[in-house]
Chain A
Amino acid sequence: MITYLEAIREAQAKALADDPRVYIYGQDVGQFGGAFKATKNLAQEFPGRVLDAPISEDAIIGSAIGAAIEGMRPIIEMQFADFSTVGFNQIVNHAATMNWRTQLPCPITIRLPSGGTAGGGPFHSQSMEALYAHYPGLIVMTPATVEDAYSMLLEAVAIDDPVIFCEHKYLYYHLKAESLPTEAMPTGKARVARAGRDATIVTYSAMVHESLAAAEELAGEGWEIEVIDLRSIKPLDTDTVLASVARTGRLLAVGEAFPWGGVTAEILARVASEGYDLLDAPPRRLNAKDTPVPYHPNLWGTHRPTARTISAEMRELLRR
């Protein structure tokens, strides 16, 4: 069995082995193997190519941009997605604008250990994907499975543009697969994670699993709920979403991020403007609460959507 975290480690090992342009740079990623061990033993296996960085997110990402200009393929680990705000300027103003301004691509992969875990608190739990998706020039991946964590990270390194790779910390150890995939869906294509005909849940990352659990619960009540895993939120596979809504007539978009704007709002906007006639009921969205992410598990478990709250929201939608 291989975990989601091990898949990320294996993808990086493969990228380092296959491509001499690849190196890994981030805090504690060297001999220590990373705060979550996503780079375990890589510094030993690839001497001089997995480097500890000072606590300087702006400079870490800025240096990756320079290295990419000079033909390298850096993989940057932010220790937590939350800390990427310190490097935000380099990501959105420098990396994201480079190709458009100069016609020189900026192939950097920025790994963001994202999302909430019990006890994480306000500064180790955030979901940053919508912020980055807002900016032109970035690709934002949000893998929900072990297979995608592996294959999408390899694709991220191969892509000529800056990729924000939002890997979910809750899935690091919870999610296991039999083996690493040998083939993969292309980036930009969403996946039907569970087929259904009564309503559609569109979601991504850890919320795919909460949504699948909700669908299972609702199946016991006789409902067939379709779950779409977006895989990447930018590009966002509107076609697959619309095709599902065409089958079911009902839409619930679920995300772990804060509620204002964001991915779920984008999905509803697209379906409302491009597929209004497909809807049998007003579309709904479910997000975290509009507060910082709380520390205590009693609060955190209620702050973010769960299978229970998704089921409840879906029952409301099915009643309409």
Chain B
Amino acid sequence: MVLQTAEAPCSCMEASENSQSFLKAYRWMLLARLVEEKIASLYRGGKIFGGVFVSKGQEALSVAIGSSLRKGDIFAPLIRDQAGRLAFGEPLLDCLRTYLGSRLGPMRGRDGNVHRGRPKEGMLPMISHLGAMIPAVAGCLMARRFRGIEGTVGATCIGDGGTSTGAFHEAMNLAAVERLPLVMVVANNQYAYSTPNSRQFVCRDLVDKAAGYGIEGHSVDATDLGACLKTLGQAVDRARAGHGPQLVIGSLLRLAGHGEHDDAHYVDPALKESALGRDCLKVAEQHILSSKWAAESTLLDWNEEAQKQIDDAVALTIREPLPDPNQEDWCALATRHLSEG
């Protein structure tokens, strides 16, 4: 696959910066892909309670938003954002500890898999109800405004199916009314679980929704890491510069089931063969090689490094204590004396 860029020729320094950010993002994608493969393998081995949801095919879009944000920003990832989480700064251990139920993880066994976060550090832990995280990010941004903190951007992710929710609509409209620096990333991966887009919406293109909210919209080929980095970077910059909410629609195909329990037999073979069905990780690798930004042996080294990082993290996590019902305090309130226990 050859990537064509429509950009004007840039200076060598810019090219170097582009290659550095591309390579950095690629390595997060690789780590995300490999850790999810490890988790899927642990799942098949019966080592994981609950579901496993992988991002295969969505890493480029996800890593682009995660790496376009900076420290102090707000990020509410959704289920297929392992790459974005890593790029935003979530430790790899958070992922494994949550999937494996370690008591030392951020959710301490009280919540699992993708429902993890570090809200004190600006990374919100998702709830399952689609669209629910969007107003929460909006509220974080309202709080920053109340507190006189300038320059924050908030971003959150959803899929094509999530755009059908009332919560999505309410939150996008609210963010537009408040003109908040919110970047809404939609991974249009063609299926919501098994439901194809033809049963989800009939608008010509999801990006048209931006006009309905009076906000700026962007479309990107989400199998193309370079395009994702550019588009998400621009969207984040526009939001930070005071141009209000930004809607980014990334087109791609989910290259796995909804979860590891799902064989995705319902996916149209024609879609798999189409440009949407390209694997963004492979596309990125080919771009690196054809641009001579790194040698094949270097890519292999990076793969090994990532694999070792994952193996070390798994080895550490599986020795960690599990949640103990006898040590659990079973108190939902922060105001403990008001708990009914």
User: What is A's interface to B at a CB cutoff of 8 Å?
Assistant: 23, 48-49, 53-54, 56-72, 74, 86, 89-90, 93-94, 96-102, 104-105, 107, 136-137, 139, 159-161, 187-188, 234-236
Complexed CA–CA distance, A159 and B335 (Å): 7
Would you call A101 and B138 a contact (CB within 8 A)?
no
Question: In the complex, A249 Cα to B124 Cα: how many Å?
Answer: 51
C-alpha spacing A104/B128, complex, angstroms: 19
Additional A-B contacts beyond A62-B136, A62-B139, A100-B331 (10; CB < 8 A)? A56-B174, A58-B135, A59-B138, A67-B140, A72-B147, A74-B139, A101-B115, A102-B117, A137-B332, A235-B340
Which residue in A54, A66, A159 is a CB contact (below 8 Å) of B140? A66
Name which of A58, A90, A99 has the most chain B CB atoms within 10 A of its CB: A58
Number of A-B contacts (CB under 8 A): 149
Give Cα A23 to B74, complex, Å: 21
The answer on a CB contact under 8 Å between B337 and A188 is: yes
Interface size on B, residues (CB 8 A): 46
A144–B249 alpha-carbon span in the complex (Å): 51
Give Cα A102 to B109, complex, Å.
11
Sample 6 A-B pairs with CB under 8 A, ordered by A number: A54-B174, A58-B167, A69-B119, A72-B142, A94-B127, A100-B332
Q: How far is the CB of A71 from chain B (nearest CB, A)?
A: 6
Q: Contacts A66-B139, A139-B333, A160-B335; is A102 near B107 (CB within 8 Å)?
A: yes
Contacts of B133 in A (CB 8 A): 62
Q: When chains A and B are docked, how far (Å) is the Cα of A57 from the Cα of B171?
A: 10
Contacts of B134 in A (CB 8 A): 59, 62
A212 to B137, CA, bound (A): 47
Chain A residues within 8 Å of B127, by CB: 93-94, 97
For the complex, is B106 an interface residue (Cβ under 8 Å from A)?
A: yes
Which residue numbers of B lie inside 8 Å of A, CB to CB?
74, 106-107, 110-111, 115, 117, 119-120, 124-125, 127-129, 131-144, 146-147, 166-167, 170-171, 173-174, 177, 331-335, 337-340
- Complex CA distance for A59 and B129, rounded to whole angstroms: 13
Q: Which residue of A lies closest to B180 (CB)?
A: A63
Complex Cα–Cα for A68 and B107 (A)? 19
In contact, A159 and B136 (Cβ under 8 angstroms): no
Find the A residue at minimum CB distance from B173: A54
User: In the bound complex, what is the Cα–Cα distance between A136 and B332 (angstroms)?
Assistant: 6
Q: Known interface pairs A65-B136, A102-B117, A234-B340. Does A59 touch B170 (Cβ–Cβ under 8 Å)?
A: yes
Most chain B C-beta atoms within 10 Å of own C-beta, residue among A63, A68, A98, A104:
A63
Contact A161 B334 (CB under 8 A): yes
User: Nearest 8 A-B pairs (CB), nearest first?
Assistant: A66-B139, A62-B135, A63-B139, A70-B143, A56-B170, A59-B170, A105-B334, A66-B136
Measured CA separation A65–B141 after assembly (Å): 11
